[in-house]
Amino acid sequence: MRQSIAVLLLLLTIGSFSRTFAVETFVVADMRLEGLQRISAGTIFNYLPIKVGDVVDEDRAADAIRSLFKTGFFKDVRVEGEGDTLVISVVERPSIASISFHGNSDINTEDLIQSLKQIGFSEGRVFNPAVFDQVEQELRHSYFSLGKYGVEIEKIVTPLERNRVAIQFNVSESEVAKIKQINIVGNEVFSDDELLDFFKLSTSRWHSILTKADQYSKQKLAADLESVRSHYLNNGYINFSVDSTQVSITPDKKDVYITVNVNEGPQFVVSDVKLTGDFVVPEEELLKGVTVSRGVVFSRDTVTKTSKNLTERLGEDGYAFANVNAIPDIKEERKEVDLTFFADPGKRVYVRRINFEGNAKTRDEVLRREMRQMEGAWISTKDVERSRVRLERLGFFEEVNIETPAVPGTADQVDINVSVVERASGNILAGAGFSQSQGVLFQGSISQENFLGTGNRVSATFNNSSVNQTLSFSYLNPYYTMDGVSRGFHARYREVDAAEANISEYVLDEISAGVNFGIPISEFDSINVGFTAKQMEFNEGSSISNEVKAFAEEVDGGFNAFLLTGSWGRDSRNRRIFPDSGSFTYAGAELAIPGGDLTYYKLTGKHQRFFPLVKDYVFMLNGEIGYGDGYGDTDDLPLIENFYAGGIRSVRGFESNTLGPREDGGDEDPLGGNLKLEGNAEVIIPMPFIRDSKSTQLSGFFDAGNVYGPQEDVDIGSLRYSAGLATTWISPFGALTFSYAVPLRKESDDEVQNFQFTFGSSF
């Protein structure tokens, strides 16, 4: 019975279809189109496989109908013959006049409409039922990516005049399905907890509302499985594989269960390491870059690092397109693997020209003198990268990009194209700020870091706070000589009210001027020498300590000082602001020479190092030491040159300048000391909700430090400690820094200040 009905329906369909092109064979002398509304006749003729002069029979007519149906523009097509005229009658599908959404909140309407455009469903397009059937599935996939598996979508099609339709989608967004459990099956070497540490996906936890790690994503799961695979490959399990993954959802669409089946396989050990290929550099040089050794467990990361090291070493000698491949020879029975690194250096590449683009203001010579890659020499990937870093460190450019296109018609030459985006390097600033240690700051400055495009720095600054009143001028030519020797001049007037800075009661007026030279001795090292002359006026307060009184009597209201300064610095940080790798080391000396009223010396040292950790986390260690003393007719380090500790730029959690000895040996104002010890460790944390921010930084810190007087023994046990959180924002108005610290070790007379901040430029 069922077979008879099927045959009958088939015959009726064939009969109906055949009548649509029941034509006698004839030669087409003309064509007539009927039923067109929006679609042009040219479009029909473009798709029609029949032209005037062709012979038409039933087969050709059927081909014509199929071709026009494939366009998707028509819901009915008829082909008939009237004498020698071919008549084509069509019924156009309606066009989409509008698409609207109601009830959607998690995905905005523009994003939903954009996703439908990708499958050919948008306003102005033909309403094709075949495409319309895919629309709901596409919308569901958009919500599935958010973990909303229970979403319901109602489609409403409303006919309009002029053969148009309005499409409306009513969306009922469900709750986000949460990962209830992640199971790993087949693992024996590593526990479930160890492997789940490599997953970004996780079950619901207190912080999931921020990380959304409990929301299933196919892409995230694939990335997590790759992390697990890398962990096994880095521990010698070369044959590790993920056999299958099952993701199931509960009937109420609220919970997701993930099961991962793995096959660990045996652990392999490296039995031999070889270098083969064309050794265009000494083999012993290449061997320095080999980080794999015999007898150790195989690690994919170590193998990759070795290939990268060898490639970079070849690139330093001009083989910019060198290729180093690691070829493993796996011995299954012995559970060993032999590694052969095959080096293919290619041709040595030379630099034809270095071109600069985008430096509308900065002169070419300013950029060219920072280049460590020379024209006419073979290219060194190390020198090219160092050139980019040096250009970025100038501070004149927002972006620095370097490309090395091949010279047309050659196989061994490249050009180096340096494109920069200049930033405003001049500032005229008038404004105010506030610092807990200095109070309200009124400040004004005119500065030009790139004066007339020469790279020279000129600055005139005024600032007025409760602690400092300063007027200064400075000039620096970083390339006073072609060898990179810098020369600078500076002049300053400053009035310091020490009592406002939590120090002894005195006011110091200073007029100073000087000159300094910077001498580079290597790519990262430099020496600075200088001379400064100072004239000081010292005015003690109304209620002074014995120490202040003794110093006032020694200088008798004022004194002159002539200072020789010298320092050595090594700076390998990748950036000046918020670096995340490299180190900075500084050692300096200041000597007040005979000829002035005071003779003394001060020695300072600092070392800071940044260690990149996982993801965007960075660990920083910093240590500082300062020591000073008098010589000749000056017994001790002058009072005004003492070191101080405490505050937001020192040991946080303690009020500024309050650590160390106090006046008259009691509980009076801080006196400072001739020896300062400070250190801190910080973990720099990525700012939540902010990606790739170059102007903000968040860190957790541990600070330690103290100051000791000349009559005190250095006691490490007397160091003060604190820990807390800090954040800095480089705003258009200056640096804004907040910190909250809790002292971990303090004495009863210490002045605690948990919350500290500073806003505006500090001098």
Q: For the residues of 372-405, what is the DSSP string, one character each?
A: -SPTTSBP-HHHHHHHHHHHHHTSSEEEEEEE-P
Are the C-beta atoms of residues 348 and 378 closer than 8 Å to each other? yes
Instruction: Report the C-alpha gap between 569 and 608 in whole angstroms.
Output: 11
Domain 350-422: which topology? Ubiquitin-like (UB roll) (3.10.20)
Cα atoms in the Cβ-side hemisphere of radius 13 Å centred on 123: 10
Quick one: pLDDT at residue 465?
66
Cα atoms in the Cβ-side hemisphere of radius 13 Å centred on 300: 14
Task: Dump pLDDT digits (tens) for 52-80.
Answer: 888 888 888 888 888 888 888 888 889 88
Are the C-beta atoms of residues 402 and 418 closer than 8 Å to each other? yes
Quick one: pLDDT at residue 2?
38
Average pLDDT of the residues in 340-355: 92
Amino acid letter for position 197: D
Cβ-based neighbour number of residue 657 at 10 Å = 25
Instruction: Tell me which residue of 255, 96, 76, 101 sits closest to 172, measured CA to CA.
Output: 101
CATH of 269-344, one of 1.10.287.70, 3.10.20.310, 3.40.50.740, 3.40.50.2000: 3.10.20.310
Quick one: pLDDT at residue 4?
40
Q: Judge whether 178-263 and 269-344 match in fold.
A: yes
Size of the chain in residues: 763
Quick one: pLDDT at residue 692?
57
CATH (residue range 426-759) = 2.40.160.50
Domain 97-172: which topology? Ubiquitin-like (UB roll) (3.10.20)
> Architecture of domain 2-92 in CATH?
Roll (3.10)
Which positions ≥6 away from 369 have C-beta within 8 Å? 479, 482, 484
How would residue 23 be classed by pLDDT, with cut points 50, 70 and 90? low
Choice between 483 and 3, residue whose per-residue pLDDT is larger: 483
Which positions ≥6 away from 203 have C-beta within 8 Å? 178, 179, 180, 181, 182, 214
Q: Does the structure show a pLDDT above 90 at 119?
A: no
Cβ-based neighbour number of residue 639 at 10 Å = 22
**What single-letter DSSP state applies at residue 662?**
B
Q: Does the structure show a pLDDT above 90 at 355?
A: yes
Instruction: Report the C-alpha gap between 588 and 733 in whole angstroms.
Output: 31
Instruction: Tell me which residue of 121, 113, 177, 115 sits closest to 144, measured CA to CA.
Output: 177
* Residue boundaries of the structural domains of the chain: 2-92, 97-172, 178-263, 269-344, 350-422, 426-759
Amino acid letter for position 161: E
- pTM for the predicted model, two decimal places: 0.63
CA distances from 362 to 358, 366, 367, 475 (A): 9, 7, 8, 18
Task: Dump pLDDT digits (tens) for 645-703.
Answer: 998 889 999 988 888 888 765 557 788 899 999 999 999 988 776 655 667 889 999 99
Average pLDDT of the residues in 4-11: 36
Domain 178-263: which topology? Ubiquitin-like (UB roll) (3.10.20)
Instruction: Report the C-alpha gap between 37 and 58 in whole angstroms.
Output: 27
How would residue 12 be classed by pLDDT, with cut points 50, 70 and 90? very low
Quick one: pLDDT at residue 13?
37
Task: Dump pLDDT digits (tens) for 154-167.
Answer: 999 999 988 899 99
Q: Does the structure show a pLDDT above 80 at 436?
A: no
